[in-house]
Amino acid sequence: MDTKFSVAVHILILISESPTSINSEQMAESVGTNASYIRKILALLKKATIVDGHRGISGYSLIVAPEQLTLLQVYQAVTEEHKLHLLDIHQNPNDRCIVGHHIKPVLTDMFVDIEEGFARSLAGKTLADCIAVIRKRM
């Protein structure tokens, strides 16, 4: 499973809540990964106009306020297709079998409903919501 989404949320919270400018090495230490991976995630977030950072200047800043930044926007920024796709159907069901013949359309419809529900859930949560939960847990 890909962890880009959770890493992106992690570093966005760090950027938002740090009292001083924070660089990719500091973020990597918090995330528990290497700075080059963090920079790859930051590049995706920058391309999606969620963060800003300049070459030669240490640190990043949020372009979108945490209250306005939905988790769906973050998810779409760091996924390759920019479209929510969680579930796949196996390739070669046997068409001569009654189940094999019908499984693709049955699962396709169900999977679309599930993915649409997941997207609605992500759209209903913001970075500020994540920050609030962290503050509550402290």
What is residue 57's predicted lDDT score, i.e. its pLDDT? 64
Closest CA to 66 of 4, 22, 124, 131: 131
Which of the residues in the chain have pLDDT under 50?
Answer: none
Give CA–CA dist 42/89, Å, rounded.
32
pLDDT in tens, 81-100: 667 778 888 889 999 999 99
Average pLDDT, the chain: 92
Residue in the structure block whose two tokens are 């390739």 = 91
The confidence score (pLDDT) of residue 55 equals 62
pLDDT score recorded for residue 11: 97
Contacts of 59 (CB under 8 A, 6+ apart): 20, 21, 22, 23, 53
Name the pTM for this structure.
0.86
The CA distance from 19 to 60, in Å, is 12
